[in-house]
A and B are shown apart, each in its own frame.
Chain A
């Protein structure tokens, strides 16, 4: 069977099994071209996908998925989903939402329709510029990659809809050396349309971003004023999304539980999520349950206005569904932002002794999204008059909510960054007092 046949077969089976059923199908095409020594070297391509199912039986929800679309495999998945549902407590009140026809949408259009030769040529140009940089010790990779995905959802409750999206990306990973100082890093440029990628400019930006850290000196332990560059700010907001999730709230794991309507951040902080923003990389006409997308204000001038919810977390917490259902076919229903955005401010000032935090490492291990406690390795630049001195071998430690409360300036240097929690855009932020652990 293909995905469409599998969907039809599963929906037909639902009535006979006495369950409400939802099918989420995804098909994905990927292409990656690497360049080495001025010619395309490693290339990869793929076409893959699968179906994820959610069943609700007597108020109990269960999940399963399959990449194998034989009748035998789908039948196994359906049996498993029902058995998984039956593990839920009696008296559970899960409901498959009643939906509507959401139509078919093509968000990608001709964005990636350039020829393979044009893509190979772009990545060769990209590599040539990176390779020409005088401080380059090693080029780990210079690559172009693209993903096109089509998501289709249907249910026995009337939901139907599909959309296609995609992006192209240039990525480099390099090791730079100057004397005994060695620095490693990577850079990404992601665009929805291939022709918006600028290989030469991107290559120079990537190398410059890492190069400024050569010759770093160790930083001593102490408390200092700090500015987080936009990319670091987006990492912090990525951590915050876990607390903003209605699923975390419903499971008693949100650090923002009980704080709706309260001031949780500086008045300079306004955070929104907009799945329909013009040119947004994570746009979606509807969420993973087929609920129509809408812009959401999460924090308004420091006041916490809303969690992000899907139908299930909204029902369990008694709050409104904000159309933030998220699910890949392999996962269960969750919550995720689309294009999360911290509004820019009027700028940050560089004062002597301030550390500009340019990179954080070890966030998956050193940050606890349940408590908000963060202790992570960092790199930065120390402001000294007109000079910026690179500093490294230190860690920064803070509590996320405490940090947001003490933001004293917000920059006007807004940037979008792809991260683990979707697409996040932010400017720099400044705090007057941060803990630095070093030598």
Chain B
């Protein structure tokens, strides 16, 4: 968007103002969103998002500003304003004595996430037809009262330059299809929700047949209609694969971001090398997985992403570290600096976090459980990293009786204290699947993928009907 000279001169201006490090992040998005309710268009919108964020480090203090005005004059004024905010006298000589910044283009390698079917390949009517297929697929019974279908398309171009001479650019293309079904039997109303998403183009709709997405959402709603309220109490829980990994995301993942660790606000601060989980658990934050919903070639600080093993056989091996986190803690940066968009400074965040498969056949997890819960499908959750207290919602669940999956139950909320719960994971199965989600934290709402095999937690608090 900007000329290379402009980046260099703005960065230089930041350094001249006394900053130890300067960074410019420029992005332009095109977004489209189409939503139908009962096969009629309820919402159709398109937008261009454009802006730049400037970040200056003065020691460990971070000054951040952003604007939509990408003229050189406006950006130069932004840098000057940020320096004034810090109280740094403009024109102070660069502390390092180095003059000028020589930007080198980062080779981010081949674009393994490039869309196979670009958005331009099809018109809006084609998209509407795909959503109508989802709608038709969801009509599996007279109880299905309403079907909502959504298609979201994001094209994001980013350019990142910093005073260490990095110049990096990336294009991120993401597509998500969502089916949401309301079913009612006259006395009770329940919902079901399925939403595949990947870093790819419209080929997502080939990989996830819209009719099948609709059918699965409807099945979940119908299942919840048959379900009875879950009895409250503390019991063994078998967590489903895929989004079941939200237990790790909330109970462990957020506690391993340097955003919390560096402030001594994580229950897992200073625990590298210690046994923090059962030896059955290996947990990886995977930035490289092809077309992963949380994948990108570079992070939002212009560093190449990587595969970071966080926990190997239960032992804590690494945190997720961004530039600021590395500066404060001394841990190696792991390409984990992420932000929703230019309106946020980056912080350390998860990408695609996955529990590796174990060696227990799935059926074996249920053996020996006289009474417990099978949480086959999970919704979102929340954590307080400092105390480790977390929760997440079960969107499809069954009681386990005498080692067998029994009647469906609804309304379960699972909760606990993270490090404590993770130690209670006693077995990990040999299957594995991944699902996309949106994760909200300090640097905004971000696409993340969550994955795990089935796993058995010896004891969790199940909120429900007492």
Contacts and interface: CB of A to CB of B under 8 A. Distances in A.
Interface stretch (B33-41, B89-97, B169-177, B295-303): B33-41
A418 interface: no
A177 to B, nearest CB: 9
A133 interface: no
Given A183-B387, A377-B463, A41 B46 contact: no
- Most chain-A Cβ atoms within 10 A of its Cβ — which of B47, B65, B233, B462? B47
Query: What is the interface of chain B mostly: helix, strand, loop, or mixed?
Result: strand
Contact of A77 (B48, B86, B189, B190): B48
Interface string A416-439: 000000000000000000011111
B189 A397 contact: no
Nearest to A89: B40
Contacts of A115: none
B43 interface: yes
Nearest to A436: B466
B384 interface: yes
26 contacts: A42-B61, A43-B86, A62-B45, A63-B46, A66-B47, A69-B68, A77-B46, A86-B124, A87-B125, A184-B384, A221-B234, A361-B382, A361-B391, A364-B380, A365-B379, A365-B380, A366-B393, A371-B190, A375-B464, A392-B389, A394-B415, A397-B413, A397-B463, A437-B462, A438-B234, A439-B461
Contact of B46 (A64, A252, A437): A64
Contacts of A370: 182, 189, 191
B413 A366 contact: yes
A393 interface: yes
Nearest to B265: A138
Interface string B430-451: 0000000000000000000000
B415 A377 contact: yes
Given A89-B40, A362-B382, A376 B48 contact: no
B347 to A, nearest CB: 11
Given A252-B37, A376-B391, A65 B265 contact: no
Given A44-B65, A373-B410, A393-B415, 13 more contacts: A47-B68, A48-B51, A50-B68, A65-B45, A68-B28, A222-B466, A330-B49, A362-B382, A362-B393, A365-B393, A394-B461, A435-B232, A437-B461
A375 B466 contact: no
Chain A interface mostly helix, strand, loop or mixed?
strand
A59 to B, nearest CB: 13
Interface string B354-396: 0000000000000000000000000111101111111111000
Contacts of B60: 41
B63 interface: yes
Given A65-B48, A397-B411, A375 B463 contact: yes
A431 B48 CA distance: 48
A63 B45 contact: yes
A81 interface: yes
Contacts of B189: 255, 370-371
A330 B47 contact: yes
B51 A221 contact: no
A437 B66 contact: no
Interface string A47-82: 111100000000000111111110001001100110
Given A44-B345, A251-B37, A175 B62 contact: no
A185 B188 CA distance: 36
Q: Which 8 A-B pairs have the closest CB atoms?
A: A395-B463, A437-B232, A175-B386, A184-B386, A84-B44, A365-B380, A80-B46, A377-B391
B48 A68 contact: yes
Interface string B276-287: 000000000000
B65 A45 contact: yes
A48 B47 contact: no
B329 interface: no
A209 B188 CA distance: 38
Interface in A350-385: 361-362, 364-366, 368, 370-371, 373, 375-377
Interface residues of B, number: 81
B48 A435 contact: no
Given A87-B128, A361-B384, A64 B45 contact: yes
A407 B133 CA distance: 45
A170 to B, nearest CB: 18
A88 interface: yes
Contacts of A67: 47-51, 68
Interface in A8-53: 36, 40-50
A211 B53 CA distance: 37
A253 interface: yes
B4 interface: no
A393 B42 contact: no
A42 B34 CA distance: 39
A62 B44 CA distance: 6
B344 to A, nearest CB: 9
B203 interface: no
A368 B193 CA distance: 12
A368 B45 contact: no
B53 to A, nearest CB: 8
A45 B381 CA distance: 31
Nearest to B229: A397
A139 interface: yes
B264 interface: yes
B64 A252 contact: no
Nearest to B190: A371
A220 B36 CA distance: 44
Given A87-B41, A377-B391, A393-B415, A49 B182 contact: no
A371 B411 CA distance: 11
B455 interface: no
B332 interface: no
B156 to A, nearest CB: 13
Nearest to B45: A63
Nearest to B128: A87
Contacts of A185: 384
Contacts of A400: none
Nearest to B1: A68
A252 B387 CA distance: 40
B465 interface: yes
A137 B270 CA distance: 14
Given A137-B386, A371-B190, A439-B461, A362 B392 contact: yes
Interface in B181-240: 182, 188-191, 229, 232-234
B417 A68 contact: no
Contacts of B379: 365-366
A38 to B, nearest CB: 13
Given A365-B393, A394-B463, A88 B232 contact: no
A149 interface: no
A64 B45 CA distance: 5
Nearest to A66: B48
Contacts of B462: 395, 437
Contacts of B343: 46, 48
A257 to B, nearest CB: 10
Contacts of A368: 191
A184 B393 contact: no
B267 A182 contact: yes
A362 B233 contact: no
B85 A116 contact: yes
B121 to A, nearest CB: 16
Nearest to B127: A87
